[in-house]
Amino acid sequence: MLHWLPENISTYGHRIDGILQAIAWIVGVWFLLVEAVLFYFLIRYRRRPGVSATYQPGTKWRPLLWLLVPAILILGFDLGIDFMQGPVWTEIKQSLPQPDQTIRIKGRQFVWEFTHPGRDGRLDTADDILATNQLTVPINTKIQFELQSADVIHSLWIPNLRLKQDAVPGRTIPGWFEATKEGTFPVACAELCGSGHGVMKGEMRVLNAANYQKWLEEETKIGSR
Ligand SMILES: [Cu+2]
């Protein structure tokens, strides 16, 4: 049903898609139903000669039910969605799995700065690899990120990973992902952050182990030149 979404290439993406799908069904079915009733009433109770509209003060049960029943239904579906998404939220956002690699991502008007660990696999060492608007990660690897902002609120958005997280000045917000497909995927900013917000775009390259090693070697060579 949600085939128009960007391809999911994240280990947890299907969990997010499941919630989107459920919400789309719930909202979609009720939308059609409500519109059908609305148009039926529009025609059934249209203006007729000799029939004037009556005022409904809402003090009797019968008219009141038209408000109470939908309100209870909405509350019920809301709670259902909450119960469904709670475990997914806990799994993806509350608990960070043991990472294979940690990167740092900083939003800045109007670029994304990615700090990759170099060959030593650690951040804040001499061989760190800094790249603007280009994130490079190995496939099937648990990547933890430390998300920061240099100025205003940005939001890191990698649609193919089903990942969207605000970057807030003064805070380091952790998160994680694991990409399951090689290729190049868009990275965007999802929080209006100024005049250049629309061009605050980058890309994520997911490489297989051999190509990732090759990239590391090349970047290390460039860095030591
Ligand atoms: Cu922005």
pLDDT one digit per residue (tens) for the chain, 225 residues: 678 899 999 999 999 999 999 999 999 999 999 999 999 999 999 999 998 888 888 788 988 998 999 999 999 999 999 999 999 999 999 989 999 999 999 999 999 999 999 888 899 999 999 999 999 999 999 999 999 999 999 999 999 999 999 999 999 999 999 999 999 999 999 999 999 999 999 999 999 999 999 999 999 887 665
Buried b (16+ CB within 10 A) or exposed e, 75-90: eeeeeeeeeebeeeee
Could you tell me the distance, in angstroms and rounded to a whole number, from the CA of residue 142 to the centre of ligand 1?
Answer: 26
Query: Phi/psi at 164 (nearest 5 deg)?
Result: -145, 120
Q: HSE of 120 in the Cβ direction (CA atoms, 13 Å)?
A: 8
Distance from Cα 162 to the centre of ligand 1, integer Å: 18
Distance from the CA of 114 to the center of ligand 1, in angstroms? 16
Q: How far apart are CA 74 and CA 141, in angstroms?
A: 40
Q: Which long-range contacts (CB under 8 A, 24 or more apart) does 164-171 make?
A: 164/190, 166/191, 167/105, 167/106, 167/107, 167/191
Instruction: Give the distance (Å) from ligand 1 centre to CA of residue 161.
Output: 18
Read off the pTM: 0.86
| CA 98 to ligand 1 centroid distance, Å | 30
Strand order from edge to edge, sheet including 143-149: 129-132, 111-116, 101-108, 143-149, 173-177
> Are the C-beta atoms of residues 139 and 121 closer than 8 Å to each other?
no
